[in-house]
Amino acid sequence: MPVVNVNSPIMTQEERTQWYRELAAAASSIRLIHPLVGSVTFAAEDFRGLQHAVFHLLAEACTPRFEGDLEAFLAASDQHRLSIDTTPGSVIKISYKTYAGYTRLHHQIGQILKHLRILERITAMSLANLRVVAGEAKTPDTEKRAYATSKTHIDVWAGEPNDIVHLWIPLAGDVERTTMDLFAPPERLFTEGWLRPLDNYEAAEGLVTDPPLDLNLSIGRALLFDGSCPHRTRRMQGATRISMDVKLLRKPFDATTQFASSYLAVEDIGVWFS
Ligand SMILES: [Fe+2]
């Protein structure tokens, strides 16, 4: 069972909606496509910087170091020619080889959060997950894990704080077919107390009955979605997708306790942006 701060107050639907409304009013690059989901357009320079930092990290994560460009990397992934250390959830592991690259990536993410007017509205961000998601699942067993991302879920069930916001960024590859489904939060999530850790994602089976939101995903357009929005990875016989996701803690909540992911307090990393 994940470690979680059970005493942390549950953020209401209205408080969540208010946060997105205020952010969209302040940040011209964020457009709401649902009261709890924003579509984010990056400045071209920010997105290029992000792709550059990501490719560098991916190259370093390979054994031997990958030589080429992002297109060549995607092709090598589709042909199963990469030797790269990932978790069952396709996340590039933090190791001595990737540490410098991950540090550079977090610096870049912080800059982007500042430009988007998000940094001033959060207390902490999680360590980023950089994912190389293949068109087909690694093995049937990886999909049977208690918290497999291919099952419809919210991260709170896996031990994340209840007030998180996800920033999800498709960076390269086949986001149309190796994609993500996102759902509006079912009313029962709030009225029946489902914003708490569960032993596995099956424990909430049947909670989500509506069809997924119409997202019209494309590379370089990110989503900022509420932690109460169920989501899942969906594979439709496509090719590799590279994406990044980071969880944000909204003010006034703070990461004083240990959660499933590690969080960086904004007041500690603020020195990067002053
Ligand atoms: Fe998730």
What is the 122 CA–ligand 1 centroid distance (Å)? 19
Residue 54 forms part of a structural domain: yes
The number of domains in the chain is 1
Low-confidence residues of the chain: pLDDT under 50? 1-7
Whether 258 is covered by a domain: the verdict is yes
Note whether residue 7 is domain-resident.
Answer: no
> How many whole angstroms from 89 Cα to the centroid of ligand 1?
10
- Per-residue model confidence (pLDDT) at position 261: 81
156 CA distance to ligand 1 centroid (A)?
9
Q: Is residue 2 part of a domain?
A: no
pLDDT of 258: 66
**Amino acid 84: pLDDT:** 92
pLDDT value of position 256: 56
Task: Return the CATH number at 86.
Answer: 2.60.120
- For residue 64, the CA-to-ligand 1 centroid distance in Å is 30
Residue 4 belongs to some domain of the structure: no
- Ligand 1 centroid to Cα of residue 235, in Å, is 15
Residue 274 belongs to a domain: no
Residue 205 in any domain: the answer is: yes
| pLDDT, position 4 | 44
E strands, 84-176, are 122-126, 129-133, 164-173
Distance 67 CA to ligand 1 centre (A): 31
3-state secondary structure (DSSP) of residue 74? helix
Is 44 a member of any domain? yes
Nearest partner of 126 among 95, 170, 167, judged by Cα: 167
Q: What residue numbers bound the domain in which 205 lies?
A: 13-268
Residue 3, pLDDT score: 43
